[in-house]
Amino acid sequence: MPMSISIVYSRALAGINSPLVTVEVHISRGLPGLSIVGLPEMAVKESKDRVRSAILINHLDYPLGKIIVNLAPADLPKEGGRYDLAIALGIISANNQLDTALLRNFEFSAEISLTGELRPVRGILPVASACRSAGRKLIVATSNANEASLVKGLEVLPAGSLFLAGAHPLIADGILRGGSASYSRKTRSTSSPTLKCNHQSGARVRIRPCASISGRRQRSSGSPGRQLTSSSPQRGQLPGPAWATKHRRHRYTRSCIIAFHSPAIKSL
């Protein structure tokens, strides 16, 4: 496993101020594990379990190595789950599933659930104001988009899941093309944008079947460049990827063979 590092931006909350927090993720050889440094409190340390489950449930690769997450500056106390999304995207980026350069113009502030759903955080207004001063775009949970859009001159990108949060930088870079990504307080769209690959050679993200909040699945079919469609499992089909269904079939066949050759069956 080659050593890799990624940098993602987030914001802390200190009264009415919102200082910048740089989330640095480094993956190296060693015993598998995740360590968070940079004066985190208990809620921040517990994010490693939420992030790991969200990445695996969304069918993304979780690195089998030593992961160190540094929340800089080290002398600033970090509290809450507002760094979950930045940590998750940092791990995905450091694992070469998303280009790190695409994340430099964005800031992320959202708590993440075990299924990858994004949850709102408190104090999003000072975060949005500081993000506008830094000249970056802000990606937040859908429930925080209305409050963040009160800051004029800031482009707010709402996302309901980890998969859609990682798709926003790709849409901005032109690798993916979709519907209106920015949030407008006049027109609130609850539907997910339809993603379309423009040039597959420049994409460094693996788009895999993803279980979203509504229970539907994102899957790609056909030649490169065609639209990604959203579909639900049909009646009579087992949910999950194809390898899971094949594994269940082989396991069932193997159990039948073992039962047939058992002494209890032969004695009949």
CATH of the domain at 45: 3.30.230.10
Would you tell me how many other CB atoms lie within 10 Å of the CB of residue 35?
A: 12
Note the pLDDT of residue 195: 42
Angle at 78 between CA 74 and CA 82, to 5 degrees: 130
Note the pLDDT of residue 264: 45
Angle at 213 between CA 70 and CA 50, to 5 degrees: 25
Domain stop point among 173, 191, 206: 173
> E strands of the chain, at which residues?
4-11, 20-28, 33-37, 66-72, 106-109, 111-112, 118-119, 137-141, 156-159, 176-177, 196-197, 210-211, 217-219, 229-231
Note the pLDDT of residue 23: 98
Note the pLDDT of residue 231: 45
Domain extent, residue 267, equals 243-268
Residue numbers in the chain where pLDDT is lower than 70? 1-3, 176-268
Residues 168 and 258 in one domain: no
| CB contact at 8 A, 12 and 78 | yes
Percent of the chain that is helix, strand, coil (3-state, to 5): 30, 25, 45
What DSSP state is assigned to residue 222?
A: S
Residues 72 and 150 in one domain: yes
Residues 24 and 156 in one domain: yes
What DSSP state is assigned to residue 1?
A: -
The pTM for the full model equals 0.69
CA distance 149 to 126: 12
| CB contact at 8 A, 12 and 128 | no
Express each pLDDT in 110-127 by its tens digit: 999 999 999 999 999 999
> Does 61 fall in a domain?
yes
Cα–Cα distances in Å, from 229 out to 57, 63, 232, 258? Answer: 20, 28, 10, 41
What total number of domains does the chain contain? 2
151: amino acid identity, one letter:
V
Domain stop point among 173, 200, 218: 173
Residues 143 and 257 in one domain: no
| CB contact at 8 A, 137 and 9 | no
CA distance 200 to 43: 38
Note the pLDDT of residue 4: 81
Residues 161 and 255 in one domain: no
Note the pLDDT of residue 104: 94
Residues 83 and 167 in one domain: yes
> Does 234 fall in a domain?
no
Residues 142 and 38 in one domain: yes
Of 120, 182, 184, the C-alpha closest to 157 is 182
Residues 58 and 144 in one domain: yes
